[in-house]
Structure 1
């Protein structure tokens, strides 16, 4: 029977002892203070918008302007649709086709008027936010209404343009 030498076991023990720092100042494996905090958004009270009579007046002015712009666009769209139907199948450059193109150009101008009005409404909301005031529900409703109207007008123009032969 061969005797084993205690050398490998002692060598391993000496190697492990050399890895330990003198004095026992080992870093803690417990969570640090920064790791115990929460990164969740703190609960805040939602501020309610107070009635702003000056803003209410401006909202009403913009609402009337939007209604008037909508009425102008709808009347012009009806006329443009009649002309586009008459130009359906007509060759590009014909009199019927040109009349329909002119009507579509007028619709595009009216749509731009509505887009400008939407920009003005959005600017009211931006100015209010820059002042640190909470969102104003009547203004938000008017903005959504103007956005929906702008989308509907763009769709109507695309629909009428699709009726005619491209240039």
Structure 2
């Protein structure tokens, strides 16, 4: 079975590479130093500092493996693939939320770089799926857990 392709914007790819580099260089050394320090305390069988440092090391290695897998499976969405005619991955779309009578600007990204706090929504989310393929002037309906929402597409751009 082939691995599922992970879609990343150029920015998302860059951030993933930067995080991976930080973890492999700086964070690995910090954890190794903590383990060495904890071993210096003596008996490691009842050494909570050692146990904590080893757990941190395991989490760090798991995150490194996840980032490496993401980069291996990544397909980078280049700027010239981002249309200004229809919403797609990489698009920044300004919408009017009919229910709340407000404008919101979302960036549609692959699920690996989604961050709702930065208004980066996944193409696999209910809002992302509804917006993909829409054009300026269209109103889309989103069937979300909190009910039916309507967004009017006001503008499509690239970041």
Q: Same fold (TM over 0.5)?
A: no
- Over alpha carbons, which structure has the higher Rg? 1
TM-score by length of 2: 0.33
Normalized against structure 1, the TM-score is what?
0.32
Relative contact order: is structure 1 or structure 2 higher (C-alpha 8 Å, sep ≥ 6)?
A: 1
Query: Which of the pair is proportionally richer in helix?
Result: 1
By percentage of residues, which structure has more strand? 2
